[in-house]
Structure 1
Amino acid sequence: MYKIICHWSRLDWHFPNVVMMEEFETNQCWKKAMPAGVKVDQQGQYYVSVPRMSQGIPATMNRIVVKDGKPLLEAFPSWDFNKVGDVNALQSVLGYEIDEYNRMWLLDQGKIAYEPSPEGSQKLVIWDLNRNSLIDSIVIPDEIAPYRTSFLNDLVVDNKNGFVYLTDSGCGHPDHPLRGGIIVYNMKTKSFRRVLDRQFSTQDFPDFHFQIDYKPVFKNQALRIGADGIALSADRSTLYYCQVTGRNLYAIHTGLLRNEQIPLEQINGAVQVLGSKGTTTDGMHADNRGNLFYTMLEGKGIGFFDARDRSFHKFVSDDRMLWVDGVSFDQKGSIIFNNNRLHEMFGGYEIDWNNPYNLIIWKAYVGKDVKSYLYG
């Protein structure tokens, strides 16, 4: 039913030079190198995002290459395009999408190690995978995603109507009040609009605490993350989302978000609470059949929501699936997902770096002709 595609005790790169490799090893930067999301393009190439939540991450966007039988990461689309300090290059990518035209939509957080995002660094980058060329790079301004508090997390793409929806978890600095929200990008006008700003569904659930394997997720402090997981129904009419520190699933009709004349107050009042998933969730992805797949942090696996009868189900679980982060489709009937031990890597816990299964990319078969929402 499910299998391991590749695994690591810790991430490693196919470095362009010895100096970069020695710096990475000497400073033990791999201890904070967390694979956030994995996707596969139409040619079968695998990609991995590694957000720069700490200093020393060699490249934030990567493709997997195999050298001497070992899976390594290599900067994508180039090392120069991942250069730290260049606001025109990729600074920190967590969420991204590969659409039905084989174009990669990269959401650049702009911030490194939770420092404020430099002006011009927060952006939506569109890359043509067929031609290996830049299509566009659109800066996300401070008034849409505040440089201090923003934590641009994930996105979904609607090419049929010409919109992209982004989540801002609002946890860009632990000492500042959380400011979650949803950002709507209009492809035609190249403009952004922030909606559901600090609305209850995009904030952390009040006084929420959770555990994995009976351990508090963060040892010495409460974890607070707003709007995070996001998914779009195959008919493009419903946007699903959730916060990490909470178990509810929320939805809103995209017609309200596409019409800029709709008042923000009306949008706030139109949020649907679909119920509890029974688990905290990071990443989500909808298929072309009316199912929404979501990661189960407490349940250590993947669950799914059947939109036809609004029911929640467990799909697959394994004790090694510690903090399942991203989930996507390979367009051949399977979901692809990864686990990264985020709660241990950043939560104050020790990790056995000799364990060859610390970080894993998984594949699980769903069914014939089941694909991403993008192909609905």
Structure 2
Amino acid sequence: MILRTCILICLATHWVHAQQTVGKQLKWVTQWKSLDFVFPTPKDREDALASGRFVPENCIPLDMDVDYNSNPLRSRVFVSVPRFIEGIPATLGVISSQVGPSGPLVEPYPNAAIQSNPEDSRCNGIVSVFRTMIDECNRLWIVDTGKIGDRRICLPKIVAFDLRTDTIIHQYQIPASQLMCDISLLVSILVDVRDPPPRGSCSNTMAYVADVTGAGLIVYDMARGKSWRVTNKLMHPNPDYGTFTIADESFDLMDGMLSMALSPKTRSDHNSPDFVFNSAYGVSQPSRPAILNDRLLFFHALASAAENAVRTSVLHNDTMWEEDVGAVPREFRVIGRRTSQSAPEAMDSNGNLFFGLLNQMAIACWDSTTNYNPQNIKIVSQNFETLQFPSGVKVIRNRKGVEELWVLTCRFQKIMTGSLNMNETNFRIQAIQIPELLNGSRSCKR
């Protein structure tokens, strides 16, 4: 009897380890074994497969965003599929209502023509997109890396689409002088609308673009049509965190600055940049007067456990950065460290920062009015199967005004180790309303 009980306990422990879930579980939105796309005709698809323009195993969705507002009758989910390699027919798309054997088909956005010839040296199309952002002005922003793999086809550019008309309304080419030769890879864009609707015109917009391999940041002022480069040692990868282990598979990747999030716009005492910045260091009094419309830019490198922050007012001083791209190094601070590497992050309107913990296959939350440390970082959802490598994390306000957490996972460890099995579910999009995730609380304080 004792032996039988021990066996049952051991089996139960093994099952819990293999299927472990903690916290609220995110809700299924869609999933794929492999990506497939909408083609004009079945023959067009066959031709793309035969010519190598479409290689299903090369198509890896990395990020997503949700359009709730351009049409009151329907919502749209956008996905980005970076051109790490050839064989990707579209790098930016919308999940369509058509379904194939491995999941819903992706329809190129805004059309196939603008993406069908990425090696065109005239650079009129879109080459490769890693991440997207939809702002409160109903604009979809991307940064086109201009690269296929390591090959530079075009200079990178920032592009904004009007989601009501699905047309490009703004483009800006980033000067070659602001890049690290062919090393730079601009992968993430974060947009700060400083004159939002209903009273603002949306013209006073700043964009921050992360250079993951050049370990830098491009700051873009839309109103002036001008950008400049910012560098700091905290944007570099840490060799101690260059090895990733997820679901018992390991790979090495020395990626630098990848993810960014902005503190809330509110001017309340507990969410002002001064309060948050100083409370993260345990300082009870602000070190300086707050600057109107100032915010904190949180950021981290992929190969790192450190979370960092800098005031946006520091980043906006273009004259200083044009004189020295490494100016004021001590304005950038490490605010604390996690127990694991993390990819993207997103902050809600209450100052809760959500991010993946890659080794733990979990989504964590930190209340930005507390010190950033493992004691104040709460795992709000963990699932060893469905949360393998969260590569896309977004906080999105739905039509009812409720904020939702959306997560795309891509099992990136299997891509890096060559163990991706296209007969298994590899890519998932999940979501949950944040009040439900936090059990009705406005904060994720532990």
TM-score by length of 1: 0.88
1:122 is aligned to 156
Contact 2:247/2:384, CA 8 A, preserved across alignment: no
Superposition deviation, residue 19 in structure 1: 4.4
Whether contact under 8 Å (1:228, 1:283) holds in the other structure is: yes
Does structure 1 retain, via aligned residues, the 8 Å contact 2:347–2:395?
A: no
Gaps of 5+ in 1: 171-178, 371-376
Given that residues 99 and 105 in structure 2 are in contact (C-alpha distance below 8 angstroms), is that contact kept between their aligned partners in structure 1? no
Please list the CA deviations of residues 276-322 of structure 1 after superposition, one character each: whole Å capped at 9, or x if unmatched: 12121111111111111112211212112211113322121111221
1:18 aligns with 2:42: yes
1:117–1:148 Cα contact (<8 Å) kept: no
Deviation at 1:24, TM superposition (A): 4.6
Describe the SS at the equivalent of 1:299. Answer: coil
Aligned match for 1:59, one of 68, 81, 90: 90
Distance 1:169 1:154 in 2: 8
Alignment of 1:291-306 (within 5 A): 291-306=352-367
| Equivalent position of 1:268 in the other structure | 329
Q: Aligned to 1:34, which of 45, 60, 66?
A: 60
8 Å contact from structure 1 (residues 66, 72) kept in 2: yes
The Cα of 1:137 is off from its aligned counterpart by 1.1
Looking at structure 2, the residues matched to 139 and 151 of structure 1 have their Cα atoms a distance apart, in angstroms, of 14
> 1:165 and 2:189 equivalent?
no
Contact 1:340/1:359 (CA < 8 Å) preserved in 2? yes
1:186 counterpart letter in structure 2: D
2:435 matched residue in structure 1: 367
State the 1:57 CA deviation. Answer: 0.3
Aligned to 1:189: 224
Q: 1:155 aligns with which of 164, 182, 189?
A: 189
124-133 vs 303-312, which moves further: 303-312
Q: 1:150 to 1:117 in 2, by over 3 A?
A: farther
C-alpha contact 1:110 1:123 (8 A) present in aligned 2: yes
* CA distance in structure 2 between the aligned counterparts of 1:239 and 1:142, rounded to whole angstroms: 25
Q: Give, in whole Å, the separation in 1 of the partners of 2:43 and 2:313.
A: 52
Deviations 1:220-241 (A, max 9, x none): xx31100001111122510011
Tell me how far apart the structure 1 counterparts of residues 36 and 63 of structure 2 sit (CA, whole Å). 16
| Aligned position for 1:348 | 417
In 2, Cα distance between equivalents of 1:277 and 1:125? 33
Deviation string, structure 1 residues 93-141 (Cα, Å, up to 9, x no partner) = 01221000110111100101221243xx410001100122211111012
The separation in 1 between residues aligned to 2:382 and 2:48, in whole angstroms, is 33
1:230 matched to which residue of 2?
260
Cα separation, 2, equivalents of 1:326 and 1:21:
28
Identity, in percent, stands at: 26
User: Residues 49-88 of structure 1 correspond to what in structure 2 (within 5 A)?
Assistant: 49-67=80-98, 70-83=103-116, 84-86=118-120, 87-88=123-124
SS in 1 for 2:178: coil
* 2:179 corresponds to: 145
* SS of corresponding position for 1:189: coil
CA contact (8 A) 2:64 2:132 kept: no
Paired residues, what number? 352
Alignment TM-score, normalising by the size of structure 2:
0.75
The question of whether the paired residues in 2 share the 8 Å contact of 1:163 and 1:184 is answered with: yes
1:143 partner SS: helix
Measure the CA separation in 1 of the matches of 2:31 and 2:433: 19
Query: Is 1:110 aligned to 2:141, yes or no?
Result: no
Give the drift of 1:206: 2.6
Distance 1:20 1:241 in 2: 42
The aligned counterpart of 1:173 is: none
In structure 2, C-alpha distance between the alignment counterparts of 1:55 and 1:23, rounded to whole Å: 15
Deviation by residue 1:162-210 (Cα, 9 ceiling, x = unmatched): 311110001xxxxxxxx210110011211111101xx321111034323
AA in 1 matched with 2:86: Q
Backbone CA RMSD of aligned residues: 2.0
Rounded Cα–Cα distance in structure 2 between residues aligned with 1:301 and 1:19:
42
SS at match of 1:165: strand
Gaps of 5+ in 2: 1-23, 70-74, 195-203, 266-293, 439-446
Specify the structure having the higher radius of gyration (Cα).
2
Distance of aligned partners of 1:260 and 1:337 in 2 relative to their CA distance in 1, 3 Å threshold: same
Structure 1 residue 94 corresponds to structure 2 residue 130: yes
Match of 1:131 among 152, 159, 165: 165
1:68 positional shift: 5.0
Is this contact kept in 1: 2:249–2:413, CA < 8 A?
no
381, 389, 403: which is aligned to 1:316?
Answer: 381
